[in-house]
Structure 1
Amino acid sequence: MNFLHTPTRHLFFTGKGGVGKTSLACASALALAEQGKRVLLISTDPASNVDEVLETPLSDTPTPIPAVPGLKALNIDPEKAAAAYRERVVGPYRSKLPEAVVNSMEEQLSGACTMEIAAFDAFAALLGDTPSTQDFDHLIFDTAPTGHTLRLLSLPSAWTGFIETNTSGTSCLGPLEGLASQKEIYARAVDSLGDGERTTLILVTRPEAAALNEAARSSGELRELGVANQHLVVNGLFQARDPEDPVARALEARGHRALERMPALLRDLPRSERPLRGRPPMGLEGLRILLAEAEPPPDATDPVQPPEGETFEALVEALGRHGHGAIMTMGKGGVGKTTLAARIAMTLARQGHRVHLTTTDPAAHVEAAVGEIPEGMTIGRVDPALETRRYREAVMASAGKDLDEEGRRLLEEDLRSPCTEEIAVFQAFARTVDQARDQYVVLDTAPTGHTILLLDAAQAYHRELGRQSQGVPEAVEQLLPRLRDPAFTHVLICTLPEATPVHEAAALQADLRRAGIEPAGWIVNQALSPVQVSDPILRARQAAEGRWIREILEQHHQKLVVEPWSETHD
């Protein structure tokens, strides 16, 4: 890969889940170490499987990798770091505020924002050329700070007594409370990220529309924040080895089509491409194959048969027996949840049910996924920008009406934080789900367990302090018990038969269960297991899927639908 020819000291890998950033970060670290460089590989990804990839148990201190002189790795547990960070922020308030308020503060500090900030805390300590890192030639980071994290750090209220002055009760600025004493350290870290002589940010994507759009969004955000030294890696580009295999031909054509439609923001970036490999990039040999010019012929293996489980048709038939309710497809971007939501909605409508299909994903094209709309079905969209503006206006009219000019200025700034959109969209969902009392509402991109708990905690906060004059909207008050009612709400977790998507789906399920919501089942989408293939690369990947399907059934959920790979998934 081009960026390894003259690498900067810091290499940050970023990209949406499942694109292969951990594999490429590990392979790059291995390649540099085998050139005689001293390399430290660092991961703060909550779904990281660096231990598994390097076949070495890791901790939060540098661990030598056997058989690779010069290579060490550490795996910072972001949940553990976030817990310590949370206690650092909330601890001083325990004896000063009522228990309900302290509990609410802890919940506000329990989500993704706190994990991001805790991760950045670790990044900053390592970027400062401390004694622990000065002996290394290169620091390679699996999972870079997001534009969201850097944007939070740029808000002035990050460095004020936010928790004491917070009047909206729903914000992701709270996690920044603990950073005030280290402002200069973080400023130096941000400067280092923007220094192209020291740092390269590697955007990892796959030749798929959703992954390329996510890479373009991240690239734009980071450029605006001064992180301009970027390199694009298109991972998993497939070239058919058996021209007689129709699945192989279709997969190759789909990848080329996606690259032809690549967002303009990515076209001017230096670019490397890595082919799709049949062998999973596990172990040192698997990592070497990932970066090699050619892959040895995969071993001939019999495909693993999909488990005997529920079919998609049986799943929808069971959902249709309820007569009404909310059906939510949840999962990381790129797993096909929009297509699955559209299929569920269309099938229910053709069975004679009234159905409303909606999404909050600005990149989701539900109309395109539906095609011709069946009778009895309607399509809607929750506009995040519009809902956020309405929410800000409502909070300013209620919580802000009695504040002085300085208080209103701080509240307005608070409402510009990214979590405001999360809450605003959630309230819009509440109004949409209210329609499911007498029809089906199929929701593509549903609120996460963290969002549900965050809003629930914020309401408790408001009730305790009496700061919200407008009260809790009735639709929201009804929504929380509805989401927790398995007879009313049916959550379907969507994933792909690969390591990272499965691990991220499991983390999502844990969040939902913490919020009191039990998923109705899982859908493994785009599986090769049920499909007839002859291409040797696809046969090898087909066999590898069995491991993840078994893990879901044995460790995560016993109700599973395995959906075959389809050319229409784009």
Structure 2
Amino acid sequence: MDFLQTATRNLFFTGKGGVGKTSMACASAIRLADRGRRVLLVSTDPASNLDEVLATTLRSEPTAVDAVPNLWAMNIDPEQAAGEYRDRMVAPYRGVLPDAAVQSMEEQFSGSCTLEIAAFDEFAKLLGDAQATEEFDHIVFDTAPTGHTLRLLTLPSAWSGFMETNTSGTSCLGPLAGLQAQQELYKKTVEALSDGKRTTLVLVTRPEPSALAEADRTSGELRVLAVTNQHLAINGVFQATDASDPVATAMQSRCDQAIASMPSRLKKLDRTSVPLAARGLVGVDALRQLGVDRSMSDLTAPSEDHTIAHVDNAADSVAMDSLIDTLAAQGHGVIMTMGKGGVGKTTVAAGVALALAERGFPVHLSTTDPAAHVAATIAADQIDGLTVSRIDPEREIEAYREEVMRTAGAELDDQGRALLEEDLRSPCTEEIAVFRAFARAVAEGEDRFVVVDTAPTGHTILLLDSALAYHREVTRQSRQMPESVENLLPRLRDPNFTRVLIVTLPESTPVHEAAKLQDDLRRARIEPFAWVINQSLAPLEITDPVLSGRKAHEKKYIHEVLNQHADQTAIIAWQTTPPTGTNGLRELFLVSTTSG
């Protein structure tokens, strides 16, 4: 890993869920410690598995890793920090404001922005206060703040009284409102992040178009803030070692094509390529091998874990058509595919929509596919009964921004408008804007199937619920609510009208993030219908030693989904050709299994 040759004091690893940033951070920290450097490894990931990976019970303060002299590690729990922060902010209003208003405030402080800012608050104490970490030579963070959070924290008006009087109802101003006292610490933290002599920001990605596009977006956001000290790490680069294995040769081809066509901005960055690991990266010995050239003898597939070998029995059950038959039995309603970016929820949604239409049902597919490839290829084939529309997030966001600036921003001064404009660039704003388009689509489910590939999170649904409750508390006239809004939440919570498919990958981070998503949905009184494990090697015949190892490693996470999270599960095989167009989508469900 080239960035370790002249490693800066601070190393930040950032990337979307499942790309391997925790593994990369751990391997880097171990390699530096093995050189005799004193290293502190810090995770602010809510689904952190540092304890498992390092075989060490960690706390919220530095803990020595016995297997690696010179290495200390700690888990910062942003959810706990966010909860404590939320309690501090809401407590003064309990018993003063109506219960509905307090509930609305609590949900406002339960979103991803609060979590991110609380996490920033915790690691700012490590990065911005030099004395707090003076005993260490390197600080390695396996999570980095987004460009949005950094921009928000650098606006002077973020520390003014504007936030205390803001009534615009926008997404991140509330969570930020209690942090003025730490302005100087945050300023030093942002300065440290942009100082190339002290800090390197490693953009971790996979050799896949969607992951590379996300890395490019992050790179651009950070460059706007003068954080140009970036290094690209492409994790999971695959080279077939068995040319007779069609899955292996297809995977190498797709990997090579993705790297060759990566965004031009990424091509200009210094780059490290890390080979796809045959085994799970758990344990210090495995992490020491990350990125190291291996002989063929090292690539032998690991022995089977007999405690979970029964997962293979799922391959003998009915294919995913069975799940679609169950969905079709209702005759109409809404089907939502949900999951983190990069797990394939758009592709799964398109496949489900196509399958329902070919069963003779009228179907409307509402997609946010940025390139519109899925929507365009299906629409071009003019499948009977299937209509396709694309929700354009940028257009929805722009319309929402204009509306908020025209109303809430009308009476603000220049600084106030600047802060409001930045707040409207947040991920929360995109979710709210797309939610409005989503609400329009849901109403069509009364007489047809509506398949939506981007759905509101549990937090957004609860935020809407509490806002409606607060509105009723103020007006005492619920009849003023539009009928579509009144009916939206009952429809989403009706298991006979709305079916949620949680899409994940058979890997640690995607499964754990999907479990958290399910918890959020249950908070909003929505019970997922099924889980879909996408891009699995488990149903395939494989001879390549690296992929055989990956196939065996999947079992742990398939077993976890089957036995801990899902009432019923479908497993979709990794495709040798990208599942685009009607023929590709038909192939998607041919080699798949269901288990319940």
Q: TM-score scaled by structure 1? A: 0.94
Shift in CA distance, 147/466, structure 1 to aligned 2, threshold 3 Å: farther
Shift in CA distance, 184/194, structure 1 to aligned 2, threshold 3 Å: same
1:34 counterpart = 2:34: yes
**How much has 1:383 moved relative to structure 2?**
1.7
Selected match of 1:297 from 299, 302, 305: 299
| 1:515-552 Cα shifts (integer Å, max 9, x gaps) | 11100000001111110011111111111111111111
C-alpha distance in 1 between matches for 2:381 and 2:398: 33
**How much has 1:559 moved relative to structure 2?**
0.3
Shift in CA distance, 262/414, structure 1 to aligned 2, threshold 3 Å: closer
**Partner of residue 338, structure 1:** 346
| 1:384-412 Cα shifts (integer Å, max 9, x gaps) | 222233334445666678x5878994895
| 1:19-71 Cα shifts (integer Å, max 9, x gaps) | 11000100000000000000000000112111111111111010000121110
**Partner of residue 71, structure 2:** 71
| 1:220-248 Cα shifts (integer Å, max 9, x gaps) | 01111121100000100111111100000
1:189 counterpart = 2:189: yes
**How much has 1:291 moved relative to structure 2?**
3.1
1:252 counterpart = 2:267: no
**Partner of residue 537, structure 1:** 546
C-alpha distance in 2 between matches for 1:301 and 1:119: 39
Structure 2 counterpart SS, 1:380: strand
**How much has 1:130 moved relative to structure 2?**
4.2
Is the contact between residue 301 and residue 552 of structure 2 (CA under 8 Å) also seen in structure 1?
no
- Single out whichever of 377-386 and 473-482 deviates more from structure 2: 473-482
Is the contact between residue 39 and residue 72 of structure 1 (CA under 8 Å) also seen in structure 2?
yes
C-alpha distance in 2 between matches for 1:200 and 1:483: 44
**Partner of residue 590, structure 2:** none
Structure 2 letter corresponding to 1:326? V
Is the contact between residue 342 and residue 369 of structure 1 (CA under 8 Å) also seen in structure 2?
no
Is the contact between residue 170 and residue 424 of structure 2 (CA under 8 Å) also seen in structure 1?
no
Selected match of 2:431 from 416, 422, 430: 422
1:383 counterpart = 2:392: yes
| 1:104-159 Cα shifts (integer Å, max 9, x gaps) | 11110001111100010012100124443110000000111111211322345532
1:325 counterpart = 2:333: yes
**Partner of residue 528, structure 1:** 537
C-alpha distance in 2 between matches for 1:33 and 1:460: 54
C-alpha distance in 1 between matches for 2:132 and 2:273: 34
**Partner of residue 368, structure 2:** 360
**How much has 1:88 moved relative to structure 2?**
2.4
Structure 1 letter corresponding to 2:312? Q
Structure 1 counterpart SS, 2:289: helix
**Partner of residue 134, structure 2:** 134
Structure 1 counterpart SS, 2:178: helix
Structure 1 counterpart SS, 2:365: strand
**Partner of residue 589, structure 2:** none
**How much has 1:376 moved relative to structure 2?**
1.0
**How much has 1:366 moved relative to structure 2?**
2.2
C-alpha distance in 1 between matches for 2:463 and 2:362: 32
**How much has 1:207 moved relative to structure 2?**
0.5
Is the contact between residue 302 and residue 552 of structure 2 (CA under 8 Å) also seen in structure 1?
no
Shift in CA distance, 363/196, structure 1 to aligned 2, threshold 3 Å: farther
Structure 1 counterpart SS, 2:203: strand
**How much has 1:172 moved relative to structure 2?**
1.8
1:439 counterpart = 2:445: no
Structural mapping, 1:30-429, within 5 Å = 30-161=30-161, 164-294=164-294, 296-299=298-301, 301=303, 305-307=312-314, 311-363=319-371, 365-367=373-375, 370=378, 372-395=381-404, 409=417, 413=421, 416-418=424-426, 419-429=428-438
Structure 2 letter corresponding to 1:461? Y
C-alpha distance in 2 between matches for 1:223 and 1:410: 19
Is the contact between residue 427 and residue 476 of structure 1 (CA under 8 Å) also seen in structure 2?
no
- Single out whichever of 366-375 and 237-246 deviates more from structure 2: 366-375
Structural mapping, 1:489-568, within 5 Å = 489-568=498-577
Is the contact between residue 148 and residue 425 of structure 2 (CA under 8 Å) also seen in structure 1?
no
Is the contact between residue 301 and residue 539 of structure 1 (CA under 8 Å) also seen in structure 2?
no
Shift in CA distance, 152/474, structure 1 to aligned 2, threshold 3 Å: farther
C-alpha distance in 1 between matches for 2:294 and 2:211: 25
| 1:488-511 Cα shifts (integer Å, max 9, x gaps) | 111000011111110011011111
**How much has 1:424 moved relative to structure 2?**
2.0
Is the contact between residue 310 and residue 561 of structure 1 (CA under 8 Å) also seen in structure 2?
no
Is the contact between residue 50 and residue 75 of structure 1 (CA under 8 Å) also seen in structure 2?
yes
C-alpha distance in 1 between matches for 2:299 and 2:270: 30
Structure 2 letter corresponding to 1:128? G
C-alpha distance in 2 between matches for 1:40 and 1:134: 11
**How much has 1:166 moved relative to structure 2?**
3.1
**How much has 1:415 moved relative to structure 2?**
6.2
Q: 5+ unaligned residues in a row in structure 2: which ranges?
A: 580-596
Is the contact between residue 240 and residue 249 of structure 1 (CA under 8 Å) also seen in structure 2?
yes
**How much has 1:89 moved relative to structure 2?**
2.1
**How much has 1:306 moved relative to structure 2?**
4.9
Shift in CA distance, 544/411, structure 1 to aligned 2, threshold 3 Å: closer
Structure 1 letter corresponding to 2:18? G
Is the contact between residue 309 and residue 559 of structure 1 (CA under 8 Å) also seen in structure 2?
no
Shift in CA distance, 461/361, structure 1 to aligned 2, threshold 3 Å: farther
Structure 2 letter corresponding to 1:318? T
Name the count of aligned residue pairs. 569
C-alpha distance in 2 between matches for 1:306 and 1:333: 29
Structure 2 counterpart SS, 1:72: strand
| 1:248-297 Cα shifts (integer Å, max 9, x gaps) | 00001010010111011101000000101111111011101113222523
Structure 1 counterpart SS, 2:312: coil
**How much has 1:445 moved relative to structure 2?**
1.6
Structure 1 letter corresponding to 2:344? G
**Partner of residue 8, structure 2:** 8
Structure 1 letter corresponding to 2:341? G
Q: TM-score scaled by structure 2? A: 0.90
Shift in CA distance, 127/248, structure 1 to aligned 2, threshold 3 Å: same
**How much has 1:305 moved relative to structure 2?**
1.3
**Partner of residue 450, structure 1:** 459
C-alpha distance in 2 between matches for 1:157 and 1:361: 36
Structure 1 counterpart SS, 2:501: strand
C-alpha distance in 2 between matches for 1:206 and 1:166: 41
C-alpha distance in 2 between matches for 1:404 and 1:128: 32
C-alpha distance in 2 between matches for 1:178 and 1:249: 54
C-alpha distance in 2 between matches for 1:237 and 1:191: 33
- How much is the aligned-residue C-alpha RMSD, in angstroms? 2.5
**How much has 1:168 moved relative to structure 2?**
3.0
C-alpha distance in 1 between matches for 2:49 and 2:231: 23
Q: 5+ unaligned residues in a row in structure 1: which ranges?
A: none
**How much has 1:443 moved relative to structure 2?**
0.5
Is the contact between residue 279 and residue 302 of structure 2 (CA under 8 Å) also seen in structure 1?
no
